[in-house]
Amino acid sequence: MKFLRRFRKNSSLRMVNFVGLSIMFACLLFSAGYIKRELSYDRHHAHADRIVRLTLQFNDEPVDGRVFGIALDALLQQIPEIERTVKMFNVNSAMLTCQGTHRIVNDFYRANREFLQVFDIPLIRGNKDEALQQRGQVLISESFARQLFGEINNELPEIHIGGRQFEAATLFVAGIYKDMPETAHFRTDILAHLPDDDRVFTYMYLLLKNQTDIKALAQKITALIEENDLFPPLKTRALLMPLTDIHLHSHNLREMSVNGNIHYIYLIVGANALLLIVVLFNLWLNVSLIFSYNRRYYQILRLHGARSTVVFKDEVLSALFLGFFSIVTGLFAAYYVWSFGYLPGQIMVFEAVVLCLLFLLLVIAVSLLPALKGIATTLFFNTDNDLKPIRFSYANVKWMLTVQYAVVMIVVILAFGINKQMNLVKEKQVGGNERNILVMNEQPGQVQAKYELLRTELLKHTAIEAVTSSFQLPGAAIRDGIGVRKGDDMDWIRLPIIVAGEDFLPFFGIRMIAGQGFSPSRYDYQTEETMMSDRRSRQLFTEHIEEYIINRKALAFAVAVPCAWYIMHRWLERFAYRTSLDWWIFALAGLTVLLVSVVSVSLQSWRAANQNPVDAIQR
């Protein structure tokens, strides 16, 4: 009880520490769960460390994730380091018929006979050695099988699939596999047989022998391609990427799914490190203040024969109390966020326990620093030094305060700048930031043939204002292109191109700065019309044109502004459209930190001015 009474003193300082530590621990849990999830992609395969994906780069241009045809097949079979080769073809859309019911299926794959021998896809029905071995065989996921058949019985009916990329055929369900985990860089509900002689764009995976040097093998494949003159006259380079690196490190054109980015991991780790430094610095500073307030109490205890271990025990109990409740609060916050699916990723109980213990030890270690340094001051010698009023000197922390303020300002500036750029990207990529636009993925030929009827029927719905169409999803990377040149200029320029409906521009609010919109007439090869962006038109038709608290805060502001500007400037260089780094972003960051500091100091001054002097003497 005596401990709790003293713990309640300096409650404002302890509350600041409690809030900061709780937020910090919740952030550590969120970050650990997210990083663990990102790093676990594709590691569920038994041979994950021996599987690589093969891509080809032509003339140093951006890399397509697929390889066309069968030109490489015979060459790869001659390389002793390669045990098996897997080829997968992505079918964007098709019509599936089962028991008289029609449904549209999107983004499924055809795979060759080596697929199940390389990737671990557990079958709950069927034989792994017989599945996908001949034409007409198909595998489906467990959840999709329940959608199609309801209960999974011994006899499974045949299904019929047909579409632009899948020749209409009746298929035999040779097996049912467990749903692919979320941490797989490709996921599908349908796997159909892919004949070895199909000349299509496929994703190629190689199962290598143990201890194979991936870099040396890529150079060997490149040399064999040049030696056999497989892709004349293109300069061709083979690229191999480990399976477990694809999600975070691969950014090829036509990726199988939206990948992560290793730089996000670095950013999260750096942000947590900065936040941890700020929180622990505040903890140390506030604990130092509290220890200086308690020095008279400790001197009286020592005067009555108490040992120094009593002082350390008291400080350890305070740190344990503070750390324990901060951890519990952080755990509850993380559980709430994860249980409702607000953030991806979770950690195991053992991992959470280890993180809790490490965090608690860190809190105790930082909290004991003032006691370790000031233990000698708890001895009462009745000297002039002991009779002086107890004050806490900021002389040794002023530069640390400056660093803290600078770090906070940099974080605020980066947060505003990144948010501003992301909003610009959203507007530039889709022509607007409205959230009321619904997208239908690629439709099979039966639907495309009756597009006008579909459009007319959709527009009859009172909730639908407009309907348009395009060859690719707006906002996605445009990977198709055409070559153009200016007049008699012999230099060709490749322009990305997207085929769109006549009402595409007004639908997304894309403003015309020259010419007119598409003519409201049906397409034919004699009246083909093209729209060009302002940036590309300038490239073709114009010359290229190269276009004490206040003191601490001021110093921190002077340090933070150039650092944050440099970081943002380097980050923005990778974008075609860049937001401006307006002056108000930097000013707002400085004002935010200044306002928080002034409010904190004002509250402490108000408490000191209204405190009963008797209480101060008793303390």
**Which residue type, as a one-letter code, is found at position 113?**
R
Note whether 444 and 95 are within 8 A (CB): yes
Q: Over pLDDT 90: what percentage of the chain? A: 29
Q: Over pLDDT 70: what percentage of the chain? A: 79
| Residue of 467 and 2 predicted with greater confidence | 467
Is the pLDDT at 612 greater than 80? The verdict is: no
| Dihedral in degrees, nearest 10, Cα atoms 17, 18, 21, 23 | -120
Mean pLDDT of 592-616: 64
Confidence (pLDDT) at 597: 66
Note whether 479 and 496 are within 8 A (CB): yes
Confidence (pLDDT) at 190: 94
Helix (H) or strand (E) holding 236, with range, is: strand 236-242
At 542, the pLDDT band (50, 70, 90 cuts) reads very low
Is the pLDDT at 388 greater than 70? The verdict is: no
At 52, the pLDDT band (50, 70, 90 cuts) reads very high
Is the pLDDT at 476 greater than 80? The verdict is: no
Lowest mean pLDDT of 146-160, 373-387, 437-451, 533-547, name the range: 533-547
| Residue of 153 and 219 predicted with greater confidence | 219
Helix (H) or strand (E) holding 166, with range, is: strand 166-177
Note whether 218 and 28 are within 8 A (CB): no
- Cα(418)–Cα(113) distance, rounded to whole angstroms? 46
Confidence (pLDDT) at 392: 47
Confidence (pLDDT) at 543: 42
The CA distances from residue 443 to 88, 165, 319, in Å, are: 21, 11, 62
Burial class (CB in 10 A: 0-12, 13-18, 19+), 420: middle
Note whether 60 and 364 are within 8 A (CB): no
Confidence (pLDDT) at 482: 74
At 310, the pLDDT band (50, 70, 90 cuts) reads confident
Confidence (pLDDT) at 303: 74
Is the pLDDT at 387 greater than 50? The verdict is: no
- Cα(123)–Cα(116) distance, rounded to whole angstroms? 10
Helix (H) or strand (E) holding 539, with range, is: helix 534-541
Lowest mean pLDDT of 66-70, 567-571, 592-596, name the range: 592-596
Is the pLDDT at 202 greater than 90? The verdict is: yes
Confidence (pLDDT) at 449: 81
At 500, the pLDDT band (50, 70, 90 cuts) reads confident
Mean pLDDT of 289-310: 77
Confidence (pLDDT) at 529: 57
At 601, the pLDDT band (50, 70, 90 cuts) reads low
Contacts of 488 (CB under 8 A, 6+ apart): none
Confidence (pLDDT) at 525: 42
Is the pLDDT at 459 greater than 60? The verdict is: yes
Which residue do the tokens 């509850």 mark?
332
| Residue of 209 and 386 predicted with greater confidence | 209
Is the pLDDT at 275 greater than 90? The verdict is: no
pLDDT tens profile 169-201: 999 999 999 999 999 999 999 999 999 888 999
Confidence (pLDDT) at 79: 93
At 427, the pLDDT band (50, 70, 90 cuts) reads low
Confidence (pLDDT) at 53: 96
**Which residue type, as a one-letter code, is found at position 155?**
E
| Residue of 159 and 576 predicted with greater confidence | 159
Is the pLDDT at 217 greater than 90? The verdict is: yes
Lowest mean pLDDT of 131-145, 373-387, 497-511, name the range: 373-387
Mean pLDDT of 441-463: 83
Is the pLDDT at 610 greater than 90? The verdict is: no
Is the pLDDT at 527 greater than 60? The verdict is: no
In the three-class reduction of DSSP (H, G, I as helix; E, B as strand; rest coil), residue 89 is classed as strand
Q: Got the DSSP string for 432-461?
A: ---S------PPPHHHHTTHHHHHHHHHTS
Confidence (pLDDT) at 547: 37
Tokens linked to 521: 């007439």
**Which residue type, as a one-letter code, is found at position 551?**
N
Confidence (pLDDT) at 285: 82
Tokens linked to 401: 């305060």
At 346, the pLDDT band (50, 70, 90 cuts) reads confident
Lowest mean pLDDT of 87-91, 176-180, 364-368, 369-373, name the range: 369-373
pLDDT averaged over the chain? 80
Is the pLDDT at 386 greater than 50? The verdict is: no
| Residue of 37 and 258 predicted with greater confidence | 37
Is the pLDDT at 395 greater than 60? The verdict is: no
Contacts of 443 (CB under 8 A, 6+ apart): 93, 104
Mean pLDDT of 15-25: 88
Of 314-318, 324-328, 455-459, which has the strongest mean pLDDT? 324-328
Of 9-13, 297-301, 368-372, 414-418, which has the strongest mean pLDDT? 368-372
Lowest mean pLDDT of 125-134, 301-310, 321-330, name the range: 301-310
Is the pLDDT at 539 greater than 70? The verdict is: no
**Which residue type, as a one-letter code, is found at position 264?**
Y
At 434, the pLDDT band (50, 70, 90 cuts) reads low
Confidence (pLDDT) at 508: 77
At 590, the pLDDT band (50, 70, 90 cuts) reads confident
Mean pLDDT of 409-421: 76
Mean pLDDT of 237-260: 90
